[in-house]
Structure 1
Amino acid sequence: MEINGVEIEDNFAEAFGIQVSRILITAATKKLALVAATEATGYGTSVIGCPAEAGIDGYVPPQDTPDGRPGYIIMICNMNKGKLDHELLERVGMCILTAATTAVFDWMDEPDEKLKTGQKLKFFGDGYEQTLDVEGRKIHSIPLMSGDFLVEAELGIKAGVAGGNFFILAENQPAGLLAADAAVDAIEAIPGAITPFPGGIVASGSKVGSNKYKFLGASTNEKMCVTLKDEVEGCEIPENVNGVYEIVIDGVNEEAVKAAMKAGIEAAVKISGIIQISAGNFGGNLGKYQIKLHELF
């Protein structure tokens, strides 16, 4: 299969189940909301080493938020519900409550269950906290030096999908970067999906385990390293490819991940110098979701 002259390899992305939260952060200005969203999603690229996978899902204009202020939706993900509960409490408490003028609302459609994040955070008010009703939402108002911090009492979570991905194989690194950046921009328009790596682009695609160091849970994917093309047996990079980037996607469900992959690939193949689109998988040993590239189109 080809799209815009770029080969779409007959391959699949192997994704796995994860617990997902989706919250809305509002603030007095769009800039302040983005600052809080950025802080709250930091150190959230991969559960290989990070305590959560996290990212900004999208912007919400004032007319569509519960308090009439600009906001950003973020997603925080972990495979363990207890650990996700902990991450929500820490990231909302340390990164959003501490940010100027912010408020937090649950933004998960049809959650499987709800965590009492706001109910726990209210105690920061040291007895001066109050409970409000905002458009039918139970909100805790916590007095701060700068004013009150508002947080919804419960935040919804549900079973989602992590690790959706595709590889961009390019003639050179600049072309690959342009295509990856275009792909991330396109995915930003897909609700319920995030690209958790820095800038949405993965420079360090990995494999499970290690060939040499048994203490590693993951190590570099040497068969896709452009500088090892002449050294590695079984290299999977075509001779005319000298730049490879991966886009990893987490979503509230498989449909959101598929839509994001499709949008990202369609944007990437419009860039001159892209040779092939592929995907990463582990032979079905990592996760139950096999998202086949050809079936996206």
Structure 2
Amino acid sequence: MEINGVEIKDNYAEAFGIKVTRILITAATKNLAKVAATEATGYGTSVIGCPAEAGIDCYMPPTETPDGRPGYVIMICNGSKKKLDHELLERIGMCVLTAPTTAAFNLLDDEDDLLKTGFKLKFFGDGYEETLEIDGRKMHAIPIMSGDFLVEDKFGYKDGVAGGNFFIIANSKMSGLVAAEVAVDAISAVPNVITPFPGGMVASGSKVGCNSYDFLDASTNEKMCISLKEKGLESNIREDAHGVFEIVIDGADEESVRAAMKAGIEAACTVDGVLEIDAGNFGGNLGAYKINLQDLF
């Protein structure tokens, strides 16, 4: 199968289940909202080593937010409800409450099982906090130096999908980089997904386990490393390829991850120098979701 002359390999991306939250951060200006959203999603590339996978989903204009101010939607993901609860408390408490003029709203409702993030954070107010309602939402107003920090009482979460992915194989590093950037831009228009790695691109593609050291749970995917191929080691990279970039996607559900993969691949295939699109999987050792590349089209 080909798109614009780019081969789409008959291969699948192996993804896994994860707990997902969606949080809206608003502020007095669009820039301040983005700064807070960026801070709150830092150190969130991969649960291999990070305490969560996190990223900015989309911008939300004032006409669509509960308080009529500009905002950004972020997603925070972790495999454990307990750890996710901790991450929300830490990230909203340390990165959003500390940011000027911000407020934090829940975007996932589940009356049966909600995280009491705002309820816990209110105690920072040292007894001066107040409870109020905004757009039908129970909010806590915590006095801080720049005014009041507003946070919703509880935050919902759901079962999502992490690790949707595809590899861009190009004839040069720069061609692959341009294609990866174009792919991430296209994915940013798909709702309910994030690309948690720096710039949305994964430079350090990994595999489950390690060949040489028994103390590592994950290590470099040596068969997809350009420098090792050029040294003559066994490789899965075609001979005429000199640039490989991976895009990893987390989403609120499998449908959203599939839509994002499709959009990203189609965009990457418009760039000159892209030779093929492949995917990463681990023989079923990582997750329950198998998303075949050719089935996306």
Residues 32 and 100 of structure 1 are in contact (CA less than 8 Å); yes or no, is this contact kept in structure 2?
yes
Cα 1:25/1:164, change in 2 over 3 Å: same
Q: Name the SS for the 1:68 alignment partner.
A: coil
Structure 1 residue aligned with 2:48: 48
d(CA) in 1 for partners of 2:112 and 2:245?
34
Indicate if the aligned counterparts of 2:183 and 2:263 stay in contact, CA closer than 8 A: yes
Query: Aligned partners of 2:201 and 2:227: how far apart in 1?
Result: 19
**Superposition RMSD on alpha carbons, in Å?**
1.1
Matching residue's letter, 2:160: G
For residue 112 of structure 1, report the CA deviation from its aligned partner: 6.9
Match for residue 15 of structure 2? 15
- Following TM superposition, the consecutive aligned residue runs of length 4 or more in structure 1 with deviations greater than 6 angstroms are none
Matched, 1:151 2:172: no
1:12-47 deviations in whole A, cap 9, x for unaligned? Answer: 000000000100000000000000000000000000
Give 1:56 deviation, angstroms: 0.2
The Cα shift of 1:229 comes to: 1.1
Q: Which moved more, 1:87-96 or 1:213-222?
A: 213-222
1:291 aligns with 2:291: yes
Cα distance in 1, alignment partners of residues 119 and 128 from structure 2: 14
Confirm whether residue 93 of structure 1 aligns to residue 85 of structure 2.
no
How far has the Cα of 1:114 moved from its partner? 1.2
**Equivalence for 2:133:** 133
Partner of 2:278: 278
Any idea what SS the aligned residue of 1:140 has? Answer: strand
Q: What SS does the aligned partner of 2:157 have? A: strand
Amino acid at match of 2:69: R
Task: Verify the 8 A CA contact 1:113 1:158 in the aligned structure 2.
Answer: no
Question: Is contact 2:109-2:157 (8 Å) kept?
Answer: no
| 1:238 alignment counterpart | 238
* Residue 180 of structure 1: aligned partner: 180
Flag the 1:233–1:79 CA change in 2: closer, same or farther, 3 A: same
- 1:107 deviation in Å? 1.2
Which residue does 2:264 correspond to in 1?
264
How many Å separate the matches in 2 of 1:185 and 1:290? 24
> How many equivalent pairs are there?
297
SS at the partner of 1:74?
Answer: strand
Alpha carbons of 1:18 and 1:170: their partners in 2 closer, same or farther (altered >3 Å)? same
Q: Do structure 1's residue 197 and structure 2's residue 197 form an aligned pair?
A: yes
Q: Residue 159 of structure 1 contacts residue 252 of structure 1 at CA under 8 Å; is this kept in 2?
A: yes
One-letter amino acid of the structure 1 residue matched with residue 245 of structure 2: Y
Pairwise CA distance, 1:151 = 0.3
- 2:210–2:217: 8 Å Cα contact kept in structure 1? yes
Which residue matches 1:217?
A: 217
- TM-score, with structure 1 as normaliser: 0.98
Q: Which residue of 2 aligns with 1:24?
A: 24
Residue in structure 2 matched with residue 33 of structure 1 by the alignment = 33
Distance 1:9 1:110, change over 3 A: farther
Q: Is the 8 A contact 1:169 1:275 kept in 2?
A: yes
TM-score scaled by structure 2? 0.98
C-alpha distance in 2, partners of 1:275/1:214? 35
Measure, in 1, the Cα distance between the counterparts of 2:204 and 2:70: 34
- Tell me if structure 1 keeps the 8 A contact 2:119–2:153: yes
Alignment match, 2:162: 162
Question: Over residues 247-283 of structure 1, what are the superposed CA-to-partner deviations in whole Å (9 max), with x where a residue is unaligned?
Answer: 0000000001000000000000000000000000001
* Structure 2 gaps, min length 5: none
Q: Which amino acid aligns with 1:83?
A: K
State the secondary structure of the residue aligned to 2:114. strand
Q: Percent identity?
A: 71
Gaps of 5+ in 1: none
> d(CA) in 2 for partners of 1:50 and 1:163?
14
Quickly say closer, same or farther: Cα 1:262–1:177, change in 2 above 3 A.
Answer: same
Is 1:107–2:119 an aligned residue pair?
no
Post-superposition shift, 1:235? 1.1
Distance 1:236 1:27 in 2: 47
Offset of residue 113 of structure 1: 2.7
